[in-house]
Structure 1
């Protein structure tokens, strides 16, 4: 067989450079063409392989992961021995959530001796799904040698021992390079295993430790653990776990919850993705989240995670599709709806999103009204959001819930009603003194208006002590110092914030304003140009764009620090 990959690489390059050749790819991708008027001529196998590969590469380069996965499935079928196709098929299949194709590609890579770290994890998932525990143990040895996902090994060896015997609780070896990282997951894994074993006393003890350390569990996981604790005679912990979760409809049937090795692995990978989300390559985080969903495709918390990761990766259709999988009886339903509506807004379907949010809010409860308020805020209808949040507050037992008060205050401030927003923000800071979001919002809003700058700076310094590496908080503090007449102190802070978030339009605009005030006009204009690049053309930021352009043209509207 002649090698096709070099030919395909050149074909893709030509197609990308000369769009007029695009019909060639369409032609090559067809199973047959009509040759003249007399007979049908079937494409050669070489042409079919080339066509499928070119179509897949084009879809991949365009970020169309579903189309890329479908085309790579065809390419892999036609050329199963190609490691390049298997590797690319695996990567796109994972992003697209196509477990069957990902597993086929992982097996092809394994047969060629070219397994990738996450393809070994998928082979482990498959072995556990088939109850092949010896095979799973062998794969865990390989995963430890490969290194990237070695942190899962002590936990999964313990889960496998639960099935293959004798059971050994998880122990993180202190001499391993991943020990400091893996120990963060020990408590949760031990809790899940004790629930799986029916050890009510041990599970209760571990849960109380986890709660004391602030471990956050998703709604589906809380519901599953609550059901298990109730079955183990700990109704008090069941109530504690369900807390203020919206109760399921009476029409929803009770769901049994199993705690399995696959579920344990899913939670490990989900925790890793949560730790990484918003950092580095967003597609890498989405891949890990997808792998968590391959391990346990019944976990709605993982579906929420996949949807969030897809949103960060700008894969809005994938985010929406994943969020829609959580049904109305799921404890994660409202969060899933929130993500689905965010994906619609990100896809410029604002009117449709608002209409859908109003339909959901027809239930007339505080949860759905808050969801409506969120959507109205995201679509810049801040006055409408004030109404929705106010209605939600009236229905809540705790009418000064800090999270809702912050949402209401933000909507009031954004709608131009600072007089009513400020006392609500003050109440949030009083009730939740470590809320960095509230400290930053109140401090920045005061500083931007030139109000009580010493206190504004104190609030923002507190936010930065609690979360010292958050670019938005660093920018707020720098801006407050600038407004207080200290541009020299403000500049290094804003420069650091820009370095941490180079695409943030607001931070770049602040940098330009400070540089202008310091007389560095050329550098200021460079920063404002960077701010223009960071603006999103689809989010109604025309007024901001006009303001920055006026600064570029005339140096106009540059805020002045206090004298």
Structure 2
């Protein structure tokens, strides 16, 4: 299946990896989330009992409606003030809703509750650092448990408490002797470097930041922390008058993470002879950075609540941190809270090198809220302000795709290709891929196919391109063997992608290999339940192998499942009359019997919405 793509510019696993242009492009082909029916919402005024308040609060909590959850948990506490479970959930909801002071009040009340001391110790310690009560912070943050992540987190926070107390040398010495798994090193190197900067020890700062920047494993382990280390080192060298060394540090990161916009802005600033200020200048911002480092490293599908908790607490201590705001916005996107995401993106400071990133994502998110014209205007203005920024064309193209304006989408990517010029880089593959999709939707295959093949030339193993081109070749009966081989290669790369497995099943169907088709399409239905096109395809395959009752069942499911690209009138006709008998060429007999999903290219920043 050529899946509908939906782009989240900034919320893939980690900020810096998503902002890398190549990975941004991969996010552009991520599968969409099924749209759930809007749940029934109860407010505190609707419930009259403890059980009613508790159940309604849990429902709101699960739906990430924290404002309502907080009111309902408080209503439940009115019935049972001593209920620790309710108070624990209230505390977490307050933090997740961005109310640090309210959450801290509950954390103080729960400080002797061992079931939540992992949270209460951290927030109480951070509050003490924020209030410059550094000795108290160290006592609160002491940790002797077995968990490596908790050990690292507490030791880094204690180090920042020492820095705040004027004991920078002690903090550096203590952290330098920390024992733990290999992945500790990127965190300790960066934070020791940042501590040394705050303490005025430039030599140690330079050494430790260099260690972090040259740690190639750091890019995979903690890309957000790696990028902070690069930018801190570049700022250090620029402020020391070592302009070339500053640019060299940026070049190291450019080789590993391509087109990271804040690095581009920092490079331009340094080239002008400016001396940019460091991101972390005191203990409170340093402690916030610890929570950002851990949250960014944990940021992956299914961990949104934990990551949001760390990042919201970090945001409370350092409210102007742009990368924290952007990651929070990305998580809100994943949780289908576009208005909340827009709020986070809008808070990124005007003078931040990440402001343009937040503006791009804000434009895409406006589209998600249905404000298509506003999104188009916003993103077009961003393109006009910097025509060389390829990410702007991807963001704008995504909105054009969602509004099915494929002519404008093709023109948009034509301009992007002009910007690329005659020597495209491997990271430019997605521009050609998206241009190919635009022309395919315009039914101009003579213009579409060369772009798909160019994308594969630049990135030969890219599974989404292999899947899209292979599916197209098979579906149009142009080159069945080549198309099938492309799809098989895509399945090998992403065996759990229901859309790509569907492509393989449909390829077998078009080739008349109906038993093989059933096998793959049954697997696709399991991987991607509730997709109308996959149900439709499986119905066709069942019909051809004589399982007609099951075929009708799958077609009926296609009518009620998600998928706007299924021709429902054609499905109803199949339910009534089945498929036409096969002639001697099974690859053409069912042409048009099941309409494949035609992807609508990028629509934004969650890397995913989100795969």
TM-score range for the pair, normalised by the shorter chain length:
0.7 to 0.9
Residue 40 (structure 1) aligns with? none
What whole-Å deviation, never above 9, does each CA across 1:288-324 have from its counterpart, x for those lacking one?
6545645654433332222222222222222221222
The residue number in structure 1 matching 2:210 is 204
Query: Aligned residue for 2:288?
Result: 262
Q: In 1, Cα distance between the equivalents of 2:398 and 2:529?
A: 27
1:341: how far off? 3.1
Measured after TM superposition, the shift of residue 263 of structure 1 is: 0.9
The verdict on how the C-alpha distance between 1:328 and 1:216 changes in structure 2, with shifts beyond 3 A counting, is farther
* 2:490 matches 1:480: no
Change (3 A) 1:24 1:315: closer
The alpha carbon displacement at 1:409 in A equals 1.8
The equivalent residue for 1:187 is: 186
The structural deviation recorded for 1:190 is 3.3
CA distance in structure 1 between the partners assigned to 2:340 and 2:413 by the alignment = 29
Structure-1 separation of matches of 2:309 and 2:543? 43
Correspondence 1:96 to 2:97: yes
Moved more, 215-224 or 499-508: 215-224
Where does 1:1-40 land on structure 2 (aligned, <5 Å)?
Answer: 25=45
Query: Which fold has the larger relative contact order, with Cα–Cα distance below 8 Å and residues 6 or more apart in sequence?
Result: 2
Once the two structures are TM-superposed, the CA of residue 426 in structure 1 deviates from its matched residue by: 0.9
State the SS of the aligned residue for 1:404. helix
Cα separation, partners in 2 of 1:220 and 1:441, compared to 1, 3 Å = same
Shift of 1:381: 1.6
- Unpaired segments ≥5 residues, structure 2: 1-38, 163-169, 197-203, 589-611
Of residues 510-519 and 220-229 in structure 1, the stretch that sits farther from structure 2 once superposed is 220-229
Contact 1:547 1:557 in 2 (8 A): no
- 1:316-331 equivalence runs, <5 A: 316-331=338-353
Mapped to 2, the partners of 1:201 and 1:385 lie a distance apart of 48
CA offset digits 1:405-451 (Å, max 9, x no partner): 22222222233222212111111111112322322222222222233
Matching residue within 249, 254, 257 for 1:237 = 249
Maintained 8 Å contact 1:158/1:169: no
1:117-168 superposed Cα distances (whole Å, 9 cap, x missing partner): 54554445435545666766666666946x6xx5242354255346543423
Could you tell me how far apart the structure 1 residues matched to 2:140 and 2:518 are?
52
Contact 2:190 2:209 in 1 (8 A): yes
Tell me the distance in 1 between the aligned counterparts of 2:524 and 2:352. 39
Q: 1:6: which partner in 2?
A: none
CA distance in 2, matches of 1:430, 1:229: 39
* CA distance in 2 between partners of 1:513 and 1:185 (Å): 53
Unaligned runs of 5+ in 1: 1-15, 29-46, 174-178
Q: Contact (CA 8 Å) 1:66, 1:96: kept in 2 or not?
A: yes
Q: Secondary structure at the match of 2:496?
A: coil
Q: Are 2:467 and 1:429 equivalent residues in the alignment?
A: no
Q: CA separation of 1:431/1:523 partners in 2, compared to 1, >3 Å: closer, same or farther? A: same
SS of 1:247's equivalent? helix
* Pairing 1:247–2:259 present: no
Tell me, in whole angstroms, the C-alpha distance in 2 between the residues paired with 1:224 and 1:533.
53
CA distance in 1, matches of 2:316, 2:551: 49
Which whole-Å CA distance do the structure 1 matches of 2:293 and 2:54 have between them?
Answer: 35
Residue 308 of structure 1: aligned partner: 330
1:495 correspondence with 2:522? yes
Report the counterpart of residue 507 of structure 1 in structure 2: 534
Indicate which of 578, 582, 589 corresponds to 1:555.
Answer: 578
Alignment partner, residue 175 of structure 2: 168
Question: Mean Cα displacement is larger for which, 331-340 or 304-313?
Answer: 331-340
- C-alpha deviation, 1:558, in angstroms: 11
Aligned 1:534-549 pairs, distance under 5 A = 534-535=561-562, 541=564, 544-549=567-572
- Give the match for residue 44 of structure 1: none
Q: CA 1:370–1:87 in 2, change beyond 3 Å: closer, same or farther?
A: same
* Cα distance between partner residues in 2 of 1:322 and 1:425: 36
Given that 1:76 and 1:89 are in contact with CA atoms closer than 8 Å, whether structure 2 keeps it comes out as no
Q: Cα distance, 1:272 vs. partner?
A: 0.8
DSSP 3-state at the match of 1:362 = helix
Asked if 1:379 corresponds to 2:399, the answer is no
Structure 1 residue 227 corresponds to structure 2 residue 250: no
1:366–1:395 contact (8 Å) kept in structure 2? yes
